[in-house]
Amino acid sequence: MLVKKACYWWSSFGDFPPEDEQECVPSPKHVLEAYRLANKVSFPQLAQEFHLSEQMLRRIFHIGNSAREQQENGEAPFRANISVAIAEEMGDRESLIIALHIRAATLREQGPMFYNAAQADTDRALLLIKQSAQEKHSVAPSVVGRVTLEAGLVQSFTAQLKGEQEMAKSLLQQGQSQAQKASGEVDSHQLKLDLGFSHLKAAMALTVWHNPATLKEHLDEATRLTDPALKRRHLIIQIVRAQGEMQSARNSSRLAQDKHYAEATRLATEALPLAKQLNSRLNRQRIQEIYDELRASPYGEEPTVAHLGLLLRNWP
């Protein structure tokens, strides 16, 4: 159902879906997005018009992450595309860089078929960062760091040749350097970049390359350096630990596999209640993938695996 034209003041900007089935009022973000596009209003101008801080307004428009977290596979790319389109229309380079970063992460989460598209977005964002530096308009370290880490992670998934793997490692190291710089900066974009996050991204990359000792080092550092209040990040750390155990099981002899399968099961089972508490369907899906692999493994008939499956079925 769409709001009928000429019913309300916003109808001149187009038809909008209602915010819910009981209302004929559209979601505010859709109206604001259309208003910005139609009138070419800058972020500071729009913030002033609506008596909001510019920081709050930017959070309204950088809406891809919430949809990613809810595992709204159709909605998340749509929202990410809107953010990119708005930033392009406004000629706001830093907002465009952030929007490209969000869309790249969204595409990466969609799976291997989307990795090349995600890399195209990170490549473009890195080029914009380089152009800004050449023009003496430096981009905030938190933005540069988030983009560079995402670029390194995506490239770790797409790398086929040794040189490509080395490039991915280099990007991750550069991202860590930017995270160090960002620690002393005002986080105006609320990106929450810190050294703990850089270690987490490096660990996520190592779920592709089998290196259990280095994976553990990065995860231990991520745990140590991440604010306990950032529960979602600690949840991801726990899940990546489980993914690492599954990787070790795949690369172990039959006699050693069960130890890794058992630890992966424990970690995934402990992570699921927090994912549910945070309503993070993205991380539920990650746990589901671990369970599916466990179920298909020689360890699949163990009671602990069956228990994990029951917990997942109780949160459909």
Report how far residue 308's alpha carbon sits from residue 91's, in angstroms, rounded to the nearest whole number.
Answer: 48
Q: Is 15 strand, coil or helix? A: coil
| Region for 280 from its dihedrals, namely left if φ exceeds 0, alpha if ψ lies in -120 to 50, beta otherwise | beta
Task: Please state the separation of Cα 146 from the chain's center in Å.
Answer: 10
* Residue whose structure tokens are 């493994």: 297
Q: What is d(CA 167, CA 160) in angstroms, rounded to the nearest whole number?
A: 11
CA distance 231 to 276: 12
Give the model's pLDDT for residue 242.
98
User: For residue 237, what are its two tokens?
Assistant: 């750390």
Q: How far apart are CA 265 and CA 288, in angstroms?
A: 11
Q: Cα–Cα distance between 264 and 274 in angstroms, integer? A: 16
Is residue 81 within 8 Å of residue 59, measured between CB atoms? Answer: no
Of 96, 84, 90, the closest CA to residue 43 belongs to 90
For the chain, domain boundaries = 40-181, 213-316
Q: 26 - beta bridge partners?
A: 18
HSE value, Cβ hemisphere, 13 Å, CA-based, for 28: 4
Cα angle: 194, vertex 150, 234; to 5 degrees? 45
Q: Are 197 and 149 in contact (CB under 8 A)?
A: yes
Tokens 């139609």 correspond to what residue?
38
**Cα 293 from chain centre:** 23
What is the model's pLDDT at position 4? 40
CA distance 312 to 268: 10
- Contact predicate 42/49, CB 8 Å: no
State how far the Cα of 311 lies from the Cα of 316, in Å rounded to an integer.
9
**Superfamily name with CATH number, domain 40-181:** Tetratricopeptide repeat domain (1.25.40.10)
Rounded Cα distance, 136 and 158, in Å: 32
First-last CA distance in the chain: 27
26 phi and psi angles, rounded to 5 deg: -75, 165
- Beta carbons of 84 and 99 less than 8 angstroms apart: yes
In the numeric block, which tokens belong to residue 36? 């910005």
Residue 28 is given by DSSP the state H
Positions of the chain with pLDDT under 70 = 1-33, 36-37, 42-44, 46-47, 49-75
Distance of CA 10 to the CA centre of its chain: 32
> What would the two tokens of residue 295 be?
């179920």
In angstroms, rounded to a whole number, what is the distance separating the alpha carbons of residues 147 and 199?
15
pTM of the predicted structure, to 2 decimals: 0.78
- Whole-angstrom distance, CA of residue 313 vs CA of residue 205: 29
